[in-house]
Structure 1
Amino acid sequence: MAVQFFVSNILISFAIIIAIVSPISNAQLIIPTNYGFVTGTTIKTNSLTQFAYLGIPYAQPPINQLRFEPPVPVKSWKGVLNVTQYQSSCPQRLPIRFTDSKSSSSQINEDCLYLNIFTSNPSNVANMSVLVYIHGGGYVLGSGSQWQGQILAAHENIVVVTINYRVGVLGFMTSGEEDSARRTIQANLGLLDQSLALQWVKDNIENFGGNPDFITIAGNSAGGLSAMYHLVMPSSKGLFRGVILQSGPYGTIPSYIKSGTSMPDTLARAKLSFQQFSSLANCTKNITSKIVECLKTLSVQQLLNIQSTLRPRNRILTSPVADGNNVQEALHTAIPAGRFHKVNIMLGTTLNDGYFRLPSMPNAVTGIPRQNFISTTNNSFPFASQRVKLSIQYRYTNWSNANSPISNRDQYGELFNDFVFAIPNIYYADQLSRFVPTYKYIFAHRTSGTWQPSYVKVAHTMEIPYMLGYPLDKPSEYPSTFNAEEVTLCRHVLSYWGSFIREGNPTDLRSPIMWPKYTQDTRQYLWIAPNFQIKSNYLAANSAFWNQYLPQLASQTIYSTIAPTNASTVEKPHSSESAYMIATFVLSGISGILLIIAMILFCKVNRAKCIYVK
């Protein structure tokens, strides 16, 4: 055994020496980690050499008895692990966008907890700042291989890490027992995957040229919401010093709960979804542990099929939830109270984030008929009262062109954008800025050669290729193209993101304009477009509508209403005009009676003078 160990170490040492003396263009440097040695590959980007370590395991495969279990740190390995190709993505619907169809990353496998590292100098003396990027996908889609970090790493002299984490029911379904110690399936397994990956980066990134004390986490959409959750997760404390929230956080805020436009995600609701899932899976047992044993016997495809059946009306089935343990408190109560890890924040949205919902609607290219706009709006707010729904319809109708299908389509896009992305982003910018330096942006440029349809405008995810540097050297898997103006825009975006990652402040000497802090007093933000601007009070009127008007409307007591008698969409409560008309009729009647009585009395007194008509 001792001889075998000695020989193994000699071979590893020899490989390291060969790598060191080899020309850097051909080198695949061997790097030590806490679990074993890895060897990567090189990537050229704009004549700059980057080192890529693709598919490094950070946890044991969550398969068999580890399915539906918290992640377990990876076991040590012998020899040198070849990490030159992306590994499989976590189970989800195929195809996986922006991945190489010939790569294993375009395929799914439960053995999927891997991370990827891009660095210009894999040396423990490089001391570069680090970005850990968390992919989006609504907690049901996405992969760490979708978005490549080599261009950002090269141009901003940082280390970029992308990660896989479990999505869908494998990552976010919970059995929902109140007592976390007795919970058969813990909540937020996907977030725990991310947290373990962050811990791996903290412990090992120095050998790849990174500074473990200068780690920033970023994410788009569900990735941005995930980054927000790490602000309140005990397991993530001390693992990062900055957060970038791109098109996140989204979802429930206090005013939505007050107005009934949204309901908080709770363990009770998550437990109900788990029971519905188990029933469809024919795993109906009296003991929860037996149900989970049954679920562990199902194939991945069976799980995905049941998930796709349930999820349209059970979003919480595949969403994070405050469980009193891994996530001790809901974001909308923890953040305003200052109960989060205090780090610098950058956050923002695209101009039309919510328009991504439109292509899934029937005949979206030609627009939405008025009645469809009304029914879709009503269905979007199942917990709201009719008067709240009518108010939303009124606010988001273009009354100069109310029957135009194109106008109704675009107005629903505005509604969805405000409710899901813009208004929560403003709310959290207000709350976070009370405690920590906060910088807000709006990405307002539509890519000239985008793959997305024209009616989605400055769509969801449109800022990501700019912050990753794609216009400078686009990966072949990404379908959009960029013009010269967008190359310049990209360089400026890279400088802002890079400066924040390195310094915690997005402005540096290359910046076209100074980006001020966001405060509740000024509400200033950076307008990101070829003509950079500093603006203030983004969507102030719409923000007041959602955060002030609707909660007040929902809290008012309406004593009586007149039900609609036709297909009209307008609810008609008794108004002051109606009351005035009723009072007028009553007084007129009383006056008439009094007049008749007066005439009778007059005739009795003056009987002789009265003329009777017979």
Structure 2
Amino acid sequence: MKDTLRRGWLAAAGLCLVIAAGTVTVPARGELAAQVRVAGGVLQGTALADAAILSYKGIPYAEPPTGDRRWRPPVPAGSWQGVRDATAFGKSCLQPPPVPTSIYYGGMTPSGEDCLTLNVWAPAGARELPVMVWIHGGALMGGGSSEPLYDGTKIAQQGVVFVSINYRVGLLGFLAHPALSAEAPDGLSGNYGLLDQIEALRWVRDNIAAFGGDPAKVTIAGESAGGLSTIALMASPQAHGLFRAAITQSGYMPAYRALREEVLGLASAEAMGAALGAAAGATDVASLRAADLVGLFRAGMATGWAPEPVIDGVTLKRQLADTFALGEQARVPVLAGFNEGEIRSLPFLMPKNVPDTKAAYQADVRRRFGDGAAAFLSLYPGDDPREDAAASIRDGLYGWAAQYVARQQAAVGQAAYLYYFRHSTPAQRERGLAAFHASEIPYIFGQVGPEAALGPNWPRPPLTADETRLSAAMMGYWLSFVRDGVPRAPGEAAWPRYAAREAPYLDIAGRPVAGSGLQAGPFAYADALVASRRQQGRGWRLDIGFSAF
């Protein structure tokens, strides 16, 4: 009935739109209405920026993963009758309530299980344009595509079709359990969130032409857990062929649990899930699906469970680092990098026992690291103990992953581009948050002006020409890479292609400049640590940097 009334109202108002498969017709006289037909039916979107940009929000790409579909792989979305309203974001995927004091707080839609939706921004009249698919961060525990920071309007204004996606997070996205594996036709469990991302990419392949995007020109991109997801999608055989380039910002690549076997000293994913279920009194499929999710979450906290990809032999065949070492990853161009102040806004990554003085710091390192102390102290001597400890964790977690991915892509003949983001603002420095985790995102999305969609706790950039220019430069580099796999920005430094010997990169502090040999010592140290752990049959997770031993 609502769809019928909507169509009648539009017709009465004279907002007649032509609807054809694969075609977006812009409404006459700039009315705020737009329709497009996709495989599931007709979508009603919104015209923005004087009808130059069309946006469609809350588009289902998979059936709601509720009831009996909870903890199952995604099922492609079915069709609907009439015109579906696509003017508002769907729910964020179910997650703990956001923390109001967090720097990342603000603007996301309420969460729920019926959340497998995506959003599209496209230039009006677009045809065969490149596509950027954004995967949100949130430690695989939270986040959502509705975060205002990820608004795609300004990216679409640069001639790129922009897509942002939701995927299951936390317990609903990554719980492996023997009972869930036993009921699955393929005998697997876990990785539901990663499978959601793959299903969303399939939807993009099959439907993006309707918005003027080219399904052969898709670049996946993400930051933090989105950067990790990008790396995992590059490693997953099931995602190969669904994208032609990848961007990973502050991604990471620790060792992960195998589905059933203990590997690298890590209990299996099924064993961790079974312990969680037992703690919550849910030991079979029926009791798991009937269990109170808050109780399950508390059981996860009590048993040390955390959401992470699962090495199941199918979606992820082996450890991500091993996949890249063997050249089995998607052979596509990559843009990768990390931020100087990653750990400043992530205090939970810092060990609680960092000594206060240089002498105590060095004595502690010598006691714990033994013969490895000299190598560590040559890189992180402890002149400022907390800063050096944070730098060592940054380099071992984010820096190593960015450089490793760039190096391995270059090794298989693919173009790779590395960056180091060091820019900070007065507001950041006043709060000890210079170049913090995710602080590069506003520049890439053009969110530095007075209308910037930043959360209430975000240190806002000053309204200066330098800030505007840096945003224009970063948008230029990123979107040029989306267009043709080479990052360029008019009037800015040439970004050198990565090669292992010189390790060139783009240094983004004030105006971007080319450099070489980024963090050569820390990268070599982290490389050696990971190699040593693998030889010893031990994993590497957050016990890197100052926490390594």
TM-score, normalised to structure 1, is 0.75
Residue from 295, 298, 301 that aligns with 1:302: 295
**In 2: Cα distance, 1:198 partner to 1:155 partner:** 22
> Once the 2 structures are TM-superposed, how far is the Cα of residue 389 of structure 1 from its aligned partner?
7.5
Matching residue of 1:440: 418
**In 2: Cα distance, 1:457 partner to 1:359 partner:** 17
**In 2: Cα distance, 1:180 partner to 1:528 partner:** 50
**In 1: Cα distance, 2:368 partner to 2:356 partner:** 23
SS of residue in 1 equivalent to 2:54? strand
**In 2: Cα distance, 1:398 partner to 1:76 partner:** 61
Q: Which amino acid aligns with 1:300?
A: L
Q: Which amino acid aligns with 1:276?
A: A
Task: Decide whether aligned partners of structure 1 residues 188 and 533 sit closer, same or farther in structure 2, where only a CA change above 3 A counts.
Answer: same
Matching residue of 1:369: 356
Matching residue of 1:131: 132
Task: Decide whether aligned partners of structure 1 residues 296 and 550 sit closer, same or farther in structure 2, where only a CA change above 3 A counts.
Answer: closer
**In 2: Cα distance, 1:35 partner to 1:281 partner:** 39
Q: Which amino acid aligns with 2:80?
A: W
> Once the 2 structures are TM-superposed, how far is the Cα of residue 415 of structure 1 from its aligned partner?
1.6
Residue from 364, 370, 395 that aligns with 1:387: 370
> Once the 2 structures are TM-superposed, how far is the Cα of residue 163 of structure 1 from its aligned partner?
0.7
Q: Which amino acid aligns with 1:446?
A: S
Task: Decide whether aligned partners of structure 1 residues 154 and 281 sit closer, same or farther in structure 2, where only a CA change above 3 A counts.
Answer: same
Matching residue of 2:545: none
Question: CA contact under 8 A between 2:91 and 2:109: conserved in structure 1?
Answer: yes
SS of residue in 1 equivalent to 2:167? coil
> Once the 2 structures are TM-superposed, how far is the Cα of residue 517 of structure 1 from its aligned partner?
0.7
Residue from 514, 527, 541 that aligns with 1:534: 514
Matching residue of 2:16: 18
**In 1: Cα distance, 2:331 partner to 2:535 partner:** 35
Task: Decide whether aligned partners of structure 1 residues 454 and 469 sit closer, same or farther in structure 2, where only a CA change above 3 A counts.
Answer: same
Residue from 33, 38, 62 that aligns with 1:28: 33
**In 2: Cα distance, 1:469 partner to 1:215 partner:** 21
Deviations 1:116-158, CA, capped at 9 Å, x for gaps:
111122x4x5221110000111111110112323343244211
Q: Which amino acid aligns with 1:502?
A: R
Q: Is structure 2 residue 169 aligned with structure 1 residue 203?
A: no
> Once the 2 structures are TM-superposed, how far is the Cα of residue 110 of structure 1 from its aligned partner?
0.8
> Once the 2 structures are TM-superposed, how far is the Cα of residue 386 of structure 1 from its aligned partner?
5.4
**In 2: Cα distance, 1:233 partner to 1:552 partner:** 25
Question: CA contact under 8 A between 2:53 and 2:157: conserved in structure 1?
Answer: no
SS of residue in 1 equivalent to 2:193? helix
Deviations 1:259-308, CA, capped at 9 Å, x for gaps:
xxxx7596x52122111101111123xxxxxx122110023333333333
Matching residue of 1:568: none
How do 1:402-551 and structure 2 match up within 5 A? 407-435=384-412, 436-450=414-428, 454-472=431-449, 473-475=451-453, 477=455, 479-483=458-462, 484=464, 485-507=466-488, 510-548=490-528
Matching residue of 2:322: 333
Question: CA contact under 8 A between 1:358 and 1:456: conserved in structure 2?
Answer: no
**In 2: Cα distance, 1:543 partner to 1:359 partner:** 23
Matching residue of 1:610: none
**In 2: Cα distance, 1:555 partner to 1:239 partner:** 34
Question: CA contact under 8 A between 1:175 and 1:183: conserved in structure 2?
Answer: no
SS of residue in 2 equivalent to 1:304? helix
Question: CA contact under 8 A between 2:190 and 2:310: conserved in structure 1?
Answer: yes
**In 2: Cα distance, 1:554 partner to 1:113 partner:** 37
Question: CA contact under 8 A between 2:32 and 2:48: conserved in structure 1?
Answer: no
SS of residue in 2 equivalent to 1:111? coil
SS of residue in 1 equivalent to 2:328? coil
Q: Is structure 2 residue 216 aligned with structure 1 residue 213?
A: yes
Q: Which amino acid aligns with 1:419?
A: G
SS of residue in 2 equivalent to 1:131? strand
Q: Which amino acid aligns with 2:399?
A: A
Higher gyration radius (CA): 1
Question: CA contact under 8 A between 2:255 and 2:319: conserved in structure 1?
Answer: no
> Once the 2 structures are TM-superposed, how far is the Cα of residue 453 of structure 1 from its aligned partner?
6.5
**In 1: Cα distance, 2:355 partner to 2:80 partner:** 57
Deviations 1:394-453, CA, capped at 9 Å, x for gaps:
456535x4xxxxx22212211210111112222222111111111111111013334x87
- Give unmatched runs, 5+ long, in structure 1: 254-262, 285-290, 379-383, 402-406, 557-570, 572-614
**In 2: Cα distance, 1:278 partner to 1:550 partner:** 32
Q: Is structure 2 residue 335 aligned with structure 1 residue 346?
A: yes
SS of residue in 2 equivalent to 1:153? helix
Question: CA contact under 8 A between 1:119 and 1:209: conserved in structure 2?
Answer: yes
Question: CA contact under 8 A between 1:355 and 1:414: conserved in structure 2?
Answer: no
TM-score, normalised to structure 2, is 0.83
Task: Decide whether aligned partners of structure 1 residues 195 and 360 sit closer, same or farther in structure 2, where only a CA change above 3 A counts.
Answer: closer
Identity of aligned residues (%): 28
> Once the 2 structures are TM-superposed, how far is the Cα of residue 545 of structure 1 from its aligned partner?
2.4
Task: Decide whether aligned partners of structure 1 residues 170 and 205 sit closer, same or farther in structure 2, where only a CA change above 3 A counts.
Answer: same
Deviations 1:451-473, CA, capped at 9 Å, x for gaps:
x8733321111111111110144
**In 2: Cα distance, 1:210 partner to 1:555 partner:** 46
SS of residue in 1 equivalent to 2:494? coil
Matching residue of 2:84: 81
> Once the 2 structures are TM-superposed, how far is the Cα of residue 356 of structure 1 from its aligned partner?
3.1
Q: Which amino acid aligns with 1:215?
A: V
Task: Decide whether aligned partners of structure 1 residues 439 and 386 sit closer, same or farther in structure 2, where only a CA change above 3 A counts.
Answer: closer
SS of residue in 1 equivalent to 2:411? coil
**In 1: Cα distance, 2:198 partner to 2:359 partner:** 42
**In 2: Cα distance, 1:505 partner to 1:351 partner:** 24
SS of residue in 1 equivalent to 2:42? strand
Question: CA contact under 8 A between 1:265 and 1:322: conserved in structure 2?
Answer: no
Bigger Cα displacement from structure 2, 527-536 vs 173-182 = 173-182
**In 2: Cα distance, 1:543 partner to 1:273 partner:** 32
**In 2: Cα distance, 1:166 partner to 1:37 partner:** 25
Matching residue of 2:546: none
Matching residue of 1:288: none
**RMSD over aligned Cα, in angstroms?**
3.6
How do 1:559-574 and structure 2 match up within 5 A? none
Q: Is structure 2 residue 63 aligned with structure 1 residue 69?
A: no
Structure 1 or 2: more helix by fraction? 1
Matching residue of 1:171: 173
**In 2: Cα distance, 1:211 partner to 1:80 partner:** 24
Task: Decide whether aligned partners of structure 1 residues 148 and 372 sit closer, same or farther in structure 2, where only a CA change above 3 A counts.
Answer: farther
Deviations 1:571-604, CA, capped at 9 Å, x for gaps:
9xxxxxxxxxxxxxxxxxxxxxxxxxxxxxxxxx
Q: Which amino acid aligns with 2:281?
A: N
Question: CA contact under 8 A between 1:336 and 1:431: conserved in structure 2?
Answer: yes
SS of residue in 2 equivalent to 1:156? coil
**In 1: Cα distance, 2:533 partner to 2:321 partner:** 21
> Once the 2 structures are TM-superposed, how far is the Cα of residue 371 of structure 1 from its aligned partner?
11
Question: CA contact under 8 A between 1:176 and 1:270: conserved in structure 2?
Answer: no
**In 1: Cα distance, 2:479 partner to 2:86 partner:** 26
- Give unmatched runs, 5+ long, in structure 2: 18-24, 257-262, 537-548
